[in-house]
Each structure stands twice: as structure tokens, then as C-alpha cells.
Chains A and B, each alone.
Chain A
């Protein structure tokens, strides 16, 4: 449950954790008619995060370029990160055998979680940097 504890504390996770739940804090949750709600002027940041592919000439050219550069020999399954996860899972699974099958399996799963989480973070961060740095600026204002 690495995911759970890190996220729950919130403060340590800081901005990225907050950004990920921003729309929940601002758009969901209980509303009581008798209470006033603070004006949300200045948080259009909710809507500008368009990362889903949009059809436009710019996108066409960018994707054509990306296809040109793509190394056709290495398939999608060879994307970085995955082999290490599998490797680690097997390794700790083997370690588990000396301890008894059950605890070994439990450890394997929890290690796979935390490993995958770390992988996910380090993998996805660079891609998001552009978008999130502008976001952060807006949040700080």
C-alpha cells in the first residue's frame, strides 16, 4: 500500500498530488445551498490540460515526423520500464521461496506496486513537464 500512504499524507506529495485531485476538490464534494461558495475566477487551469490527441495540421505533421523517427525494430512491449518490473517481480518471487510461498507472493505484489509507481513517475514526468510547469505557475498566482 505504498500508493495509499504517500498520497494520503498529501502535504509531502505537494503540488503534483494536489494537481491530480484538483478537479475533485473544486468540482465534486458536498454543496449546501444555504452556504456561500467562494468564486472560482482564475482557475480555468482545470480545462486547459488537453493532452488527448486533437486533429489539426500541426498534429498531423508532428505525428508524421514522430513515425519517421520511430525505431521500428523495438516494439511497444520494449518500452523502457517494463522489463525491469518483470525482472524484479521474478527475483523477489524467488527470494520468497525460502520464506514460504505465501509471504513471498505478498512481498512480490507489494514490491511490484511500489516499483511500478516509481517507474511510472520517472517515466511520465518528463513528458508532462511542459504542461505542468505552466500549470504550476497559474496555481501559484
Chain B
């Protein structure tokens, strides 16, 4: 039977969640495979593994549990080795590399920060800062909403202003939060938020990042944040700080 791999830790990692329920239905038990002074968290791989919600959650939970007690290099979801021996030899072959990464990420956790605009609030901001938008809105209101062309003209103006604001706010968020992190990794722009950044921070000083986010939130009410963390350092397993994961 093939072997599903969750992540890689030092063999001395104090709290590897052996016996925890992993992916599969019924859940398969998590165990370890050792090699090269390292330990891989694994379970049997279920037949026909697909990225189902339950399994994604199980993958995430196993890593969160292990990450709580020490550093772990998280695998991308869905990594399956031929068998336990294949896992052990992969550990041995690249032991130096994995050790270096574990060392570099020691006590580090990832916080993922997504920001978007609160639509009403950003419209207020745009209106307050743009006399043209204000004037056009007033005149449209004066004529009962305006003609189709009037509406398009106003709408186009507003959309341009909001888009400019998206770029400006994305830069603001990054510039404000970056000094509080060891490294930053940006998600591809297509993912639908005005910004989607992962920060690598020392577990002990993560409050600084959270405090900076809170200050941003209060100073800019049109920004809505989604903050997730501490997470295993998904975005920082490959060397090169600030470098986004290759596509």
C-alpha cells in the first residue's frame, strides 16, 4: 500500500501526533517514518485520493497539531510515496537540505493576511476624495438618477477610483506589515483579494504583526482583513526568503 506524507520534522520533535486521525474515511492513523535523523509524518494512502474537504482538513489538522510542539515542514496536499521505504530514502537523500530548512524555520510560523474593501466604506472614501465623483453623483441625483449614459459615466469614474484605491491599499498593507516579519510571500494576484500575503514570523513576537494589522484596521475602516495563523510555514519551505512558491 502506498504512503501519504503530511510533513517532515526533526526525529527529535517532541510532540509528533502519532496515532492521530489523518485523511481517509474511515480515518487512517498517523505514524512516522524515520531516516537521516528526520521523521516524516505519514499514514496509509486511501484508494482514489482526491482533494475532498474532509481530507484537506485532516491534512491541515495533522500539521497544525505537529506544528504546535515544534517545527515541521508541511507537504503540499496530496503527496503520495510508493511505500514507507521510499519515504525513508527521500529523507536520507535530502537530509542536509531538510535540516537546513528546519533550522531556518525554527520557531517560525506563517500568518496569512487577506484584505478586501468594504464596498460602502470605500465608496465613501472615493466620494470624499474625488470632487468629480461627488459632482456627478449630485447631478445624477438631481435628475432622478440620470440617464443611462450619465450612470455609465459616473460608474466608470468610480470604478477607476476604486481600482486605484485597491492598488494603493495593497501597497499600504504590505509596507505597513512587512517590517514585522522575517519574510513575505505574495499569492498570485488572480486570487480575488486586494492583497493576499503570507508573513513568516517568530512565534514569540507574532503579536507585533497582529497589532500592526489591528492598527491598520482601525485607521482604515474600508479595509476588511482575514487573518489566519499561526500556520505551518507552507509558503516558506523552499529556500529564498520572500520568493513566492513556484507555479
Q: Knowing A8-B230, A68-B145 touch, does A29 contact B75 (C-beta < 8 A)?
A: yes
B217/A23 in contact, CB under 8 A: no
Q: Knowing A3-B227, A53-B163, A79-B118 touch, does A60 contact B50 (C-beta < 8 A)?
A: no
C-alpha spacing A52/B190, complex, angstroms:
9
Residue B7, interface by CB 8 Å: yes
Residue B187, interface by CB 8 Å: yes
Contact of A66 among B7, B81, B110, B123 (CB under 8 A): B123
Residue of B nearest to A14 (CB): B57
A68/B137 in contact, CB under 8 A: yes
A27/B245 in contact, CB under 8 A: yes
Q: Knowing A63-B159, A120-B224, A124-B226 touch, does A75 contact B80 (C-beta < 8 A)?
A: no
C-alpha spacing A61/B147, complex, angstroms:
11
SS class, residues of chain A in contact with chain B: helix
C-alpha spacing A75/B134, complex, angstroms:
13
Give the chain A neighbours of B222 by CB distance below 8 A: 76, 79
Residue B25, interface by CB 8 Å: no
**Min CB–CB distance A31 → chain B (angstroms):** 5
C-alpha spacing A63/B6, complex, angstroms:
46
**Min CB–CB distance B24 → chain A (angstroms):** 12
Contact of A79 among B61, B192, B221 (CB under 8 A): B221
Residue of A nearest to B227 (CB): A3
Report the interface size class on chain A.
Answer: 35 or more
C-alpha spacing A120/B217, complex, angstroms:
9
Name the segment of B10-18, B29-37, B175-183, B205-213 touching the other chain.
B205-213
Give the chain B neighbours of A87 by CB distance below 8 A: none
Give the chain A neighbours of B112 by CB distance below 8 A: 20-21, 24
Give the chain A neighbours of B64 by CB distance below 8 A: 8-10
7 tightest A-B CB contacts, nearest first: A60-B155, A38-B78, A29-B76, A76-B124, A28-B234, A64-B155, A64-B151
Interface residues, chain A, with chain B CB atoms under 8 Å away? 1, 3-4, 7-11, 15, 17-18, 20-32, 34-40, 42-43, 46-47, 49-53, 55, 57, 59-68, 70, 72, 74-77, 79, 81-82, 85-86, 109, 112-113, 116, 120, 123-124, 127, 139-140
Pairs across A and B, CB under 8 Å, 17 listed:
A20-B226, A25-B60, A25-B234, A27-B76, A31-B76, A34-B86, A35-B86, A37-B80, A50-B190, A52-B194, A59-B155, A64-B155, A67-B133, A70-B120, A79-B221, A120-B224, A123-B224
